[in-house]
């Protein structure tokens, strides 16, 4: 059965995604990066992840040429970086915001990221419009804090709240002095 593109997109928009910046360093010394939700853990031994990047995106060619990339997992306070890395202009202009450093490969690593995975390209497989980039993880930086991940679903950014947190907010509810609101009976 042929799948309509709109149906495919509508289905995929239901997949709530963690928002990452996939970054690399070009041969000319310019940085390149894009916002990506198609990032997935593959194996702990050896430590491997994958990301799917549209081959028309300039960062795809930059990663293939460099042979390395970093995946930076965004916290909810970095929502503006997600917008910046998904829209024009691309290239170095995207890096004027945020504090950036690098680890082993030379790929740009965001200091405020919840976690950063520094990777060498182990394998690249083209499927349809996208390239699946498998990364051998050579170093990992994890930010030890209570910061929450930035999420994306149904075309919107949001945050993560555990059921435990929702329950503890509910238990703080105090009825008004006038007794129970008649509308709520
Ligand atoms: C929330 C969100 C998630 C995205 N996820 C991906 C993704 O997983 N792979 C991809 O190729 N593009 C993804 N994009 C689109 C790219 O970020 C966008 O096309 C970007 O401008 C490409 O930049 P470049 O051409 O400089 O590499 C996403 C965009 C948004 C807003």
Question: 34 alpha carbon to ligand 1 midpoint, in Å?
Answer: 5
Residue of 12, 61, 86, 92 to test ligand 1 pocket, by largest number of atoms within 8 Å of CB:
86
* Locus of tokens 């680890």: 103
Residue 148: name the closest of 97, 78, 71 by CA.
78
CATH numbers and ranges of domains, the chain: 16-184 (2.30.110.10)
Whether ligand 1 lies within 6 angstroms of the CB of 57 is answered as yes
What does the pLDDT read at residue 120? 98
Give the residue, by CA position, lying nearest to ligand 1 atom 21: 86
CA of 183 to the centre of ligand 1 (A): 47
- Residue 54 has a CB neighbour count (10 Å cut-off) of 14
pLDDT for 144: 80
Residue carrying structure tokens 């050579």:
138
Residue 167 has a pLDDT of 83
Nearest ligand 1 atom, CA 62: 27
pTM for this model (two decimals):
0.91
pLDDT at 173 (0 to 100) = 65
* Element (DSSP H or E) covering residue 21: strand 20-25
Ligand 1 within 6 A of CB of 23 = no
- Is the bond preceding 89 in cis, omega lying within 30 degrees of 0? yes
- What pLDDT is attached to residue 179? 55
Distance of alpha carbon 112 from alpha carbon 90, whole angstroms: 21
Q: Whose CA is nearest to atom 6 of ligand 1?
A: 36
Q: Is 64 in the pocket of ligand 1 (CB under 6 A)?
A: no
Task: Give the whole-angstrom CA distance, residue 5 versus residue 134.
Answer: 26
DSSP designation for 178: T
* Contact (Cβ atoms closer than 8 angstroms) between residue 68 and residue 106: yes
Q: How confident is the prediction along the chain (185 residues), in pLDDT tens digits per residue?
A: 899 999 999 999 999 999 999 999 999 999 999 999 999 999 999 999 999 999 999 999 999 999 999 999 999 999 999 999 999 899 999 999 999 999 999 999 999 999 999 999 999 999 999 999 999 999 999 998 788 999 999 999 999 999 998 888 766 666 666 555 556 54
Q: 36 alpha carbon to ligand 1 midpoint, in Å?
A: 5
């Amino acid at each position: 059965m042929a799948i309509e593109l709109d149906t495919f997109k509508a289905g995929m928009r239901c997949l709530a995604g963690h928002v990452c910046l996939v970054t690399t360093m070009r041969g000319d010394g310019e940085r390149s990066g894009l916002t990506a939700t198609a990032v997935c853990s593959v194996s702990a031994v050896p430590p491997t992840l994958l990301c799917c990047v549209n081959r028309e995106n300039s960062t795809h060619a930059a990663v293939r040429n460099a042979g390395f990339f970093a995946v930076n997992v965004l916290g909810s306070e970095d929502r503006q970086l997600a917008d910046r890395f998904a829209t024009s202009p691309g290239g170095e202009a995207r890096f004027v915001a945020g504090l950036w450093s690098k680890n082993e490969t030379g790929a740009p690593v965001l200091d405020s990221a919840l976690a950063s995975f520094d990777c060498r390209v182990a394998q690249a497989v083209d499927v349809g419009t996208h390239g699946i980039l498998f990364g051998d993880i050579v170093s990992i930086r994890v930010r030890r804090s209570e910061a929450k991940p930035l999420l994306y679903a149904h075309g919107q950014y949001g945050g993560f709240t555990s059921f435990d947190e929702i329950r503890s907010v509910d238990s703080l509810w105090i009825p008004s002095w006038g007794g129970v609101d008649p509308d709520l009976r």
